[in-house]
């Protein structure tokens, strides 16, 4: 028996709808894509008094330790926190690309959906290059994963299947995207950082739409266990995202008491409130699609996002 090609077949209609969305996203990629190798002024001078992250997003902002620091010490902290965030963004983009490539093994390579996924992989690959070049350009050293972290990260793509692939993509993209929109608009930011954030925000908007469409499509047909796994496992993203924001080595490189800095940073209500605000959009979307449950809410709350 041959597969049905009847336009009234739900599978055919769903495929057509997916391809229509992918076609629009491919069109957007043609109109607004960047190559940081030529679209970023890598040789632009950096003002030693300008921040590398908006002060309000720096982990120690407003704490007693922050108040005791000089302006240049605060700038250095922003430089190190940016290097930490970009270092970890490189490995997240890496695991996401692996998940997308695995999914393609079971899909029609001639479909527009697969072609857009390949377009996104190209975007993410350029982003990894851009992030690594920024770390070098600002004169920082990368933050390498520990052996345990590297082993854990290597397992991520195994779980990026079905519905959870799209949920994981959103968890890694939406909260950071919200912060980066503030970076790009801040008046006292290093120009090179504003440039790369504008590029990333523009291209990430398409990736977020693609992932949201993937969630809406998959959640309608996914078996109950797949929905429950995605609704539970997304809470682990709270831990990963918090690691983007706090790392003892950041404070050590700045010459601070790492233990005290970690204590004050974790208790910093001003930054915690900003983190909760950044999570609101994703929390609403996951809730609307039945992808939040008591376990994931407990984890997101435990790591300061609810």
What would the pLDDT profile of 44-102 be if each residue is shown by its tens digit? 889 999 999 989 889 999 999 999 999 999 999 999 999 999 998 898 889 889 988 88
pLDDT of residue 7: 47
pLDDT of residue 14: 66
Q: What would the pLDDT profile of 137-163 be if each residue is shown by its tens digit?
A: 999 999 988 888 888 878 887 888 889
Tell me how far the alpha carbon of residue 166 is from its chain's centroid.
12
C-alpha 85/C-alpha 250 separation (Å) is: 10
**The listed CATH number (1.10.620.20, 1.10.730.10, 3.30.210.10, 1.10.3720.10) that belongs to domain 46-302:** 1.10.620.20
Task: Report the DSSP beta bridge partners of residue 51.
Answer: 189
SS (HEC) of 138-171: CCCCCCCCCHHHHHHHHHHHHHCCHHHHHHHHHH
User: Phi, psi at residue 63, to the nearest 5°?
Assistant: -85, 165
pLDDT of residue 274: 85
Torsion of CA 116, 117, 123, 125, to 10 degrees: -150
Tokens for 69, please give them.
């620091």
pLDDT of residue 43: 87
Distant-in-sequence, close-in-space partners of 235: CB < 8 Å, separation ≥ 6: 295, 296, 297, 298, 299, 300
pLDDT of residue 162: 87
Q: Which residues of the chain have pLDDT under 70?
A: 1-15, 182, 184
Tokens for 55, please give them.
């002060």
For residue 177, which of 206, 154, 152 has the smallest C-alpha distance?
Answer: 206
pLDDT of residue 238: 87
C-alpha 32/C-alpha 156 separation (Å) is: 30
pLDDT of residue 200: 87
């Amino acid at each position: 028996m041959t597969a049905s090609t009847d336009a009234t077949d739900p599978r055919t209609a769903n495929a057509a709808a997916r391809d229509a969305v992918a076609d629009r996203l491919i069109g957007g990629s043609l109109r607004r894509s960047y190559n940081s190798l030529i679209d970023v002024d890598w040789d632009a001078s950096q003002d030693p008094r300008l921040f590398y992250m908006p002060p309000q997003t720096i982990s120690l902002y407003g704490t007693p330790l922050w108040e005791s620091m000089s302006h240049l010490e605060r700038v250095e902290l922003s430089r190190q926190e940016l290097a930490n965030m970009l270092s970890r963004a490189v490995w997240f983009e890496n695991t996401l690309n692996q998940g997308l490539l695995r999914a393609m093994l079971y899909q029609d390579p001639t479909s527009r959906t697969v072609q857009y996924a390949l377009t996104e992989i190209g975007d993410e690959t350029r982003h990894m290059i851009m992030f690594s070049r920024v770390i070098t350009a600002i004169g920082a050293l990368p933050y390498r994963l520990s052996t345990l972290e590297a082993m854990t990260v290597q397992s991520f793509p195994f779980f990026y299947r079905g519905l959870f692939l799209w949920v994981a993509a959103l968890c890694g993209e939406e909260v950071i995207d919200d912060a980066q929109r503030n970076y790009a608009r801040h008046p006292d930011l290093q120009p090179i950082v504003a440039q790369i954030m504008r590029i990333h925000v523009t291209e990430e908007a398409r990736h977020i739409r693609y992932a949201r469409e993937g969630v809406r499509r998959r959640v309608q047909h996914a078996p109950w266990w797949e929905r429950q796994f995605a609704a539970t496992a997304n809470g682990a993203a709270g831990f990963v995202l918090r690691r983007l924001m706090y790392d003892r080595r950041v404070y050590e490189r700045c010459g601070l008491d790492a233990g005290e800095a970690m204590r004050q940073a974790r208790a910093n209500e001003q930054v915690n409130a900003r983190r909760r605000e950044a999570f609101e959009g994703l929390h609403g979307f996951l809730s609307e699609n039945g992808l939040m449950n008591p376990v994931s809410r407990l984890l997101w709350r435990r790591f300061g996002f609810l």
